[in-house]
Amino acid sequence: MIGSIAYFSTDIAEPGVIRHNEGSRISLGEPDGSRSDRARAIAAALVKAGLRCPLTARIRHEIWVKILGNVAFNPISAADPRDACRNRPRS
């Protein structure tokens, strides 16, 4: 298992259609903090595909930081009646 965290902003344009707004980063890391050949190979493939893909020795820490950010900000976004990216009423 290799840990990963995607940093993308998306929304639902219509049922079955996801719109990518911004972001191209996927962090990867081994749970034990090592920088394995397999993690390097996956990161290299993602970079070749045009994504930013840093390897981290602290993937567990990054996962918790992202969870805390989601806990703090997602309820605000859900409670706001406007589309956060376009400042218009949600349909």
Q: Which residues are catalytic?
A: 66
**Within a 10 A sphere around the Cβ of 59, how many other Cβ atoms?**
21
Give per-residue burial for 25-46: e unless 16+ CB within 10 Å, then b.
ebbbbbeeeeeeeebeebbeeb
